[in-house]
Structure 1
Amino acid sequence: MVVVKFNLTYLLFGPDKIWPEGPEHISRLSLNYAIDMMIGELYVVGFVAAIKITLDFLKEHKRVADLEKTQLETELQFLKNQISPHFFFNTLNNIYSLSVVKSNKTPKIILKLSELMRYMLYDTKAKRQSLQNEIMCIQNYLDLERVRYDDSLEVNMYISGDIQDKEIAPILLLTFVENAFKHGANKNIGKVKIDINFKIKEKFLYFTITNPMPLITSHKNNLKQASGIGLENVKKRLALGYDKNDYKLVIHNKNNKFIVKLKIKVG
């Protein structure tokens, strides 16, 4: 390029215009002229290269962000779909047990299960669902379990605050309720008490559920084992679907009770 520039300037403008800013007029290509021209061109090349690298970086960053978003949505959908088979498997086992003894409770349980299936199939496709619908879904589940357990089960559900226009990830809370029955009611003899509390304060829901720890296990389960697939699934859904400042999940046992506390943004 230096040679081409030198020859074109010499032919079109004459020797006086080859290096007007230089220390002397030249009529032939010299080393000093070549070095000076190369340094000047490097500024242009560097500027253009910086623009190109920046544009490539932004393009690649957008591609990676889009890919991560797609992977996130795919994993969230997988985790959400994983809940339904897990839940229905347990419920169908309950129906089978009652059908074996020809219990007259079976039709009512099937009807409740049908209502839950309708909700899960058609009303849980969006990322967020109204808190009212979620509470109604939980109520249907509780009605189903009350039919099964009769007087041996005591469920207390409290709701305080305004639940209007509040949204939450679909069937998120139901997993905690199902876990309370699976590891509380199903593994205890005698009367079982489960307390569920919904408290809405400003933009947050404070959800608490308490159930008795298993009394008839062959060995002592630790907290991680007691949580099962369902709670591990919920932890992943929370991490993927919410910012870390939008929720706080605490799980512990106290006085032979398994306690789940969830603070989550719903407004």
Structure 2
Amino acid sequence: MTDKITKYDGYSIPRKYHFIFWIGYFMINFIRWGSYFDDYMYSFKSNLVEFFIHIPITYFHIYYLIPKFILKKRVVLYFISAILTLGLVYIVRTELNLLLVTSNIWPEAIGIQKAYSFNHIVAVTIGEVYVVALATAIKLTMDWIAERRKNAQLKQLQLKTELKYLKSQIQPHFFFNTLNNLYYLTIEKSDKASDVVLKLSEIMQYVLYDVKEPKIGLLNEINYIQSYLELERLRHGEKINSQIEIKGNIDDISIPPLLLLPFIENCFKHGSKNNDSVNLDIHFENKKNQQLVFSAKNNFNTNNNNEKKRGIGIENVRRRLELLYKNNYSLETKIIDNTFNVLLKIPIL
């Protein structure tokens, strides 16, 4: 037996909270009217009769009338059903009170009031609508909160799925480029081919095993970048001039894995052609333990047509940054005096 109340498509409130609500509501009314009439036995009996009506009519409204008519936009039928239901409730409640509680059907009214009078019908109906409306408002509020939480979870799952997809794109992209380099060396029958295979195996270990976590130490990412640069040096030799400068303490900084490599790859895409050299300056700065600033500069070859090819690199990074940091980041790429410049600022979390 489950500990849930039968539900429609909304949030299922655990049974214990239903008991707490109704017992609490009964006690409030019992004490209130017992104090008002100075007759707690009368208050107990009258409230007991009414609550055995309140409860079924409330659940009938929440779990039948709302999904049957309101959610299907059959408003007219809803009001007709609600009015007929309230009419039936009035008759049953009035007859039970007359039979089991008292002949004075409305003791709180001024003067002696008879059952089925207009004023009595209005008073009882308003009281019943109040109870049903209160319980319905609580239920719909819980549904709304649960729906928002569900949508947030689905959105978060979607973001995680997209992030995994974007990250998975980088790995084959990198290996494809490296295998192209290896192919180039084997065509030339270069002795460096074996070194490339060895270095590639080291990087594969990093990519396949170390980047499964959502965050990775910045120092590990820098080591990965250095390994990539060594691979490029194996291919291009002394034509690769690079330096990495670090300002501030970065020991405890973590970033999403494989976030920066596309910028380094982009430097070679723009800077190298035929016998051109690549001059690459990379800088990392920890600004007051609040912001990580990454910048890279390399010579830009205006005759290089590689940049016209649409790749996944920079656009991939932009999308990942949007998903990870929303508007709390800054990325600039521009060309100044034949130099390609990248400036990235992300918060330190």
Q: Of 292, 297, 302, which aligns to 1:210?
A: 297
Give deviations 1:153-187, integer Å, cap 9, x for gaps.
211222222121111110111111111112222x3
Q: What amino acid does structure 2 have at the position aligned with 1:233?
A: N
Which residue number in structure 2 is paired with residue 124 of structure 1? 211
Instruction: Give runs of aligned pairs for residues 13-32 of structure 1, distance below 5 A.
Output: 13-16=101-104, 18-32=105-119
- The separation in 2 between residues aligned to 1:218 and 1:159, in whole angstroms, is 32
- The separation in 2 between residues aligned to 1:117 and 1:5, in whole angstroms, is 77
Instruction: Give runs of aligned pairs for residues 6-85 of structure 1, distance below 5 A.
Output: 6-16=94-104, 18-85=105-172
Which residue number in structure 1 is paired with residue 320 of structure 2? 237
Structure whose CA Rg is larger: 2
Instruction: Report if aligned partners of 1:179, 1:227 keep a CA contact under 8 Å in 2.
Output: no
Instruction: Give runs of aligned pairs for residues 138-217 of structure 1, distance below 5 A.
Output: 138-185=225-272, 187=273, 189-203=275-289, 204-217=291-304
- Pair 13,150 (structure 1): closer, same or farther in 2 beyond 3 Å: closer
- The separation in 1 between residues aligned to 2:209 and 2:224, in whole angstroms, is 13
Q: State TM-score, norm by structure 1.
A: 0.91
Instruction: Report if aligned partners of 2:297, 2:339 keep a CA contact under 8 Å in 1.
Output: yes
- Pair 97,117 (structure 1): closer, same or farther in 2 beyond 3 Å: same
Which residue number in structure 1 is paired with residue 8 of structure 2? none
Which residue number in structure 2 is paired with residue 266 of structure 1? 348
- The separation in 1 between residues aligned to 2:242 and 2:286, in whole angstroms, is 20
**SS of residue paired to 2:242:** strand
Q: What amino acid does structure 1 have at the position aligned with 2:112?
A: H
- The separation in 2 between residues aligned to 1:177 and 1:218, in whole angstroms, is 18
Instruction: Report if aligned partners of 1:15, 1:25 keep a CA contact under 8 Å in 2.
Output: no
Structure 1 unaligned blocks of 5 or more:
none
- The separation in 2 between residues aligned to 1:216 and 1:231, in whole angstroms, is 20
**SS of residue paired to 2:312:** helix
- The separation in 2 between residues aligned to 1:215 and 1:78, in whole angstroms, is 32
4+ residue segments displaced more than 6 Å: none
- The separation in 1 between residues aligned to 2:324 and 2:199, in whole angstroms, is 29
Q: Of 70, 86, 92, which aligns to 2:179?
A: 92
Report how far residue 188 of structure 1 moved: 6.0
- Pair 264,226 (structure 1): closer, same or farther in 2 beyond 3 Å: farther
Q: What amino acid does structure 2 have at the position aligned with 1:249?
A: L
Report how far residue 32 of structure 1 moved: 2.4
Report how far residue 146 of structure 1 moved: 1.0
Instruction: Report if aligned partners of 1:109, 1:144 keep a CA contact under 8 Å in 2.
Output: yes
**Matched length:** 260
Report sequence identity in percent.
45
- The separation in 2 between residues aligned to 1:31 and 1:218, in whole angstroms, is 88
Instruction: Report if aligned partners of 2:114, 2:120 keep a CA contact under 8 Å in 1.
Output: no
1:253 and 2:253 are equivalent in the alignment: no
- The separation in 2 between residues aligned to 1:178 and 1:218, in whole angstroms, is 15
Instruction: Report if aligned partners of 2:90, 2:124 keep a CA contact under 8 Å in 1.
Output: yes
Give deviations 1:196-241, integer Å, cap 9, x for gaps.
112222222211111222333469x6xxx57842000001111112
Report how far residue 24 of structure 1 moved: 3.8
Report how far residue 189 of structure 1 moved: 4.1
- The separation in 1 between residues aligned to 2:339 and 2:163, in whole angstroms, is 30
- The separation in 2 between residues aligned to 1:232 and 1:155, in whole angstroms, is 24
Q: What amino acid does structure 1 have at the position aligned with 2:102?
A: G
- Pair 121,24 (structure 1): closer, same or farther in 2 beyond 3 Å: same
Q: Of 67, 81, 91, which aligns to 1:3?
A: 91
Which has the larger share of strand?
1
